[in-house]
A and B are shown apart, each in its own frame.
Chain A
């Protein structure tokens, strides 16, 4: 079974649309994250949730809104998509709360905004 799974793998959409990416982990971890991979392949943290509570919210546009219905799920909703949002988004989880534990990654969602 996949430990951290995110869907969809590919997402192609028009500018201005609203879309969501879902993430689920079956590792029993307390903390989940969303990362954005830039064009140079650096991974930048966007959000972190611990037990359904937001603990990290880096400087991202407020068009991005994470939602954690329970500690095994962290979904990313994006409003009014822009060309610059095109990237690969990774979900991850770890045990450890505010201190980042060893990360386990999903396989990524390739978002293309046309």
Chain B
């Protein structure tokens, strides 16, 4: 069965530190890839998405992600985090008509 793995369950960083959240999926075919963010007490927002083309995708709020097909990965990065980035981050993979969410990574940014 297809799956999406987010190996970092809980990440704690100080402000201005760099961020990289891992996302790996298990599907050999064509995929569309997403990162969603859930701020405390709020619903999901789309951070960025990859369908095709440049594997380095830039999203909102300074986030970017790189699709590495050979590694089945779509890691999320931000050069310098802010306290307001404290949230749950979900990776999601779309294969055909199916959507699979990772279990999420909780990011806490300490001022």
Whether A105 sits at the interface, judged by CB under 8 Å, is yes
Q: A103: which of B32, B34, B38, B98 is its contact (CB, 8 Å)? A: B38
Expressed in whole angstroms, the Cα–Cα distance for A109 and B38 within the complex equals: 21
Q: Would you call A42 and B43 a contact (CB within 8 A)? A: no
Size band of the A side of the interface? 20 to 34
Q: Would you call A100 and B46 a contact (CB within 8 A)? A: no
Expressed in whole angstroms, the Cα–Cα distance for A105 and B49 within the complex equals: 18
Expressed in whole angstroms, the Cα–Cα distance for A107 and B38 within the complex equals: 18
Q: Tell me how far the C-beta of B11 lies from the nearest C-beta in chain A, rounded to whole angstroms.
A: 14
Q: How many A-B residue pairs have CB under 8 A?
A: 47
Whether A43 sits at the interface, judged by CB under 8 Å, is yes
Taken residue by residue from 99 to 113, chain A's Cβ proximity to chain B (1 for < 8 Å, 0 otherwise) reads as: 110111101101000
Q: Would you call B98 and A43 a contact (CB within 8 A)? A: no
Main secondary structure of the interface of B (DSSP, over half): strand
Q: Would you call A99 and B106 a contact (CB within 8 A)? A: no
Q: Which residues of B in the span 97-111 have a Cβ within 8 Å of any Cβ on A?
A: 97-101, 103-104, 106
Q: Would you call A107 and B98 a contact (CB within 8 A)? A: yes
Q: Would you call B98 and A45 a contact (CB within 8 A)? A: no
Size band of the B side of the interface? 20 to 34
Whether A88 sits at the interface, judged by CB under 8 Å, is yes
Q: Tell me how far the C-beta of B106 lies from the nearest C-beta in chain A, rounded to whole angstroms.
A: 7
For A100, what are the chain B residues with a Cβ–Cβ distance below 8 Å? 38, 41-43
For A10, what are the chain B residues with a Cβ–Cβ distance below 8 Å? 97
Using CB atoms and an 8 Å cutoff, list the residues of chain B in contact with chain A: 32, 34, 36, 38, 41-46, 49, 88, 90, 97-101, 103-104, 106
